[in-house]
Structures are given as structure tokens and as C-alpha cells.
Amino acid sequence: MAPSVTHVTGTVAGGVEVRFTQDGIAVCRFRLTETPTQWDATAQKWRDLEPIPYICTAWRDLASNAAESLVDGVSVLVKGRITGVKDNSIYLSIDDLGISLRRRIAYTETSLPSPIAARPVTAPPAPQPAAAPRPATGRPGSPPAWWERQRSANWS
């Protein structure tokens, strides 16, 4: 009989623990809490049911990526196989994992906004009239004549 594949939406509860096997394979483990809701027809509103605790295990690249990406309180979507039920928790071996976009924005390495995207958009500066050519004072790099007159006027 094949293991049951399930999809779970829940919130990461606590930190993500990552370890490595003797062969260097990454394994991570974290707790997930799903709080199902049910429509209450008499009250005309949704009500929360008893939370369902999961203990999730991921391997290899998925484990490394999960350890880098997940923190306490993040909503995630998990696809995995039920491997057991023990101590009122359901154990899942995760095949795939994603961050829920219901309450947050997530960026991938390729979709990070560029620094230009953070700059406000402004109109280009108006073109300035061309400056009148300066009279030559002799040597290249020497100050213009008006500078010499103003500089010497302020000296005692």
C-alpha cells in the first residue's frame, strides 16, 4: 500500500532544526500547526476548530532551503506523505513546500527588486540654456576675468 499523500496549509510553530547525516545529506525538521475552520450557519460566521499539529521532515536541497527560508509564524503550503501518528501529532515526510502569499509578499532570488525600483520616479530636469562662452584669459585652466575682479575687490 502506498503512503497517503496530503496537502496541508498551516503555520510554522517554532524554529527549524537542520542536521546532516554522516554522508552529508541535510535533514530538517519543524512543527506545523493547521487550524481548520468551519462555517457556523446559526452565527453566520467562520469558527476555528481544534488545531492539528504536524511534525514535518524534509531532506536534501528542500531541507537546506527550508532551513534558510522558514521562521516561526510563517504560513506555508506543504505536500507530503503521512509517515505516522504519534503523541497526538501527524508525521509528514515533505515532498514540496511553499510560502503562502495570503498575508505576505515573497521574493525569489531571481525576482528581487532592483535598487532602481526603490527610487521614486521623477521628471527629468528641464534643459538649461547654454552658458555664454568665457573670454580667454591666457592660460588653460586659469580662472576667468570676473573671478579675478571679484576676488581682488574683497581683499583689503
- In the chain, the domains with their CATH numbers are 5-108 (2.40.50.140)
**Whether pLDDT at 156 is above 60:** no
Higher pLDDT, 144 or 14: 14
52, 134, 144, 153 from 149: Cα distances, Å: 86, 14, 9, 6
Considering the entire predicted model, what is its pTM? 0.65
Band (121; pLDDT cuts 50, 70, 90): low
- Mean pLDDT, the chain, rounded, equals 84
pLDDT at residue 30, rounded to an integer? 96
- Mind listing the pLDDT tens digit for each residue in 78-115? 999 999 999 999 999 999 999 998 888 777 777 766 66
DSSP class of 139: S
